[in-house]
Structure 1
Amino acid sequence: MTSRWGRGAAVLTVGVLALAGCNGGGEEAKSPSPTGSTSASSPSASASGSPSASASPSTPGTVPEPPPAATVRDEQGAIAFLKFYFSEFNRGMMAPETPPNLMAYADKGCISCKKSQKVIDEYVAGKWSVLTPGMEVVNPGLATPVTADKVIINFTLTEKAQTLYQNGKPTKETVPAASGKRGIALRWVNDQWQVLGLEEL
């Protein structure tokens, strides 16, 4: 597989569409407008639900450790970490009362990670949520050697359509279905994986 990674990517994940695409519908439930969101796209195989993607339960103020499978410097470990990252993103959309800190798993300069965290922060502020994990990582594959300074994984990210809740009650708003090709850049630092950036392919 050939790497198509480019610098200055404008976007990140399908999850941004969860708020960007739910404009209009109900008067009572006005969705927030996240900044920096763009397009998305793509098909299915799960980012949450597989043993390698699950983490220990989270409590407020804690950052869950990635599962053991995601802490190994090999292809399976890198992919397991990718799935773990999106399982945390899913958790932030399902349980904004105990939001994850995605930046705990990212380089401090990762702009797309900051935008992903902003989506979760807007869910928290608006008391929005969804009932089930929406994002799925499909067909991930390394585009670079796992020993490279910057490890690129190309994959497809899908998001299923579902009702958007506010204050625990269903609204007329929905998260739209979406699907698209994505690339994520990881690096191995201090014996763990870290996200450097995400981009649309």
Structure 2
Amino acid sequence: MQRFTQGFYGYAFAMAVCLAGVLAFLFVTPYSTTPHIPRVDYTIDVANMRRAAPYQVWTPEPVPAGWIPNSSRMTDAKGVVTWRLGFATAEQKHAMLIQSDERPAAEFANRMANSDRATGTVQIAGETWEQRYREDKNQRSLVRLLPDATLVVTGTAGWDELTALATSLKQQPKPAGSPAPTATPVPAATPTATG
């Protein structure tokens, strides 16, 4: 037995035992080919938006089946409150809800959609949304200009999935004691060329 614990033979024996253990571990560990998508909890951003935004916040209720919220970013810069909420969809595409009171509203919508050209309109839950499509980026967008905010639903997801997200949107009430949202007129849209 001593020859297995000394010199080269001891080293080789120890390595073989370790290698056998690693192989056994790999053999019994399940392997998944499905990519791991990080999930974020955006409830804190919803609460912060409800307090900070001068408009009523829109959230998906419920989130479409099989979707995973994977990004949430709220910004409050110089009195402009914007929230971007991203999802991995059931079809493994990307969809994002963007809302803001940035002005001019039309310029904000153009920037978020990467296009200033409407390809049509669609009725979703009784409301009119403008459709835009940026072919070179494979980006579809639904745009709705409200008196106090702009809503953009955009991404590489198909029209059916973007429509599902827009359909799920519900307005959240302002917290008790918050000032009521003030409606400001939306200036007339001035088309600008985008590259």
Q: Provide TM-score, normalisation by structure 1.
A: 0.27
Larger gyration radius, structure 1 or structure 2: 2
Structure with the bigger percentage of strand: 2
Q: Provide TM-score, normalisation by structure 2.
A: 0.27
Higher relative contact order (CA 8 A, sep 6+): 1
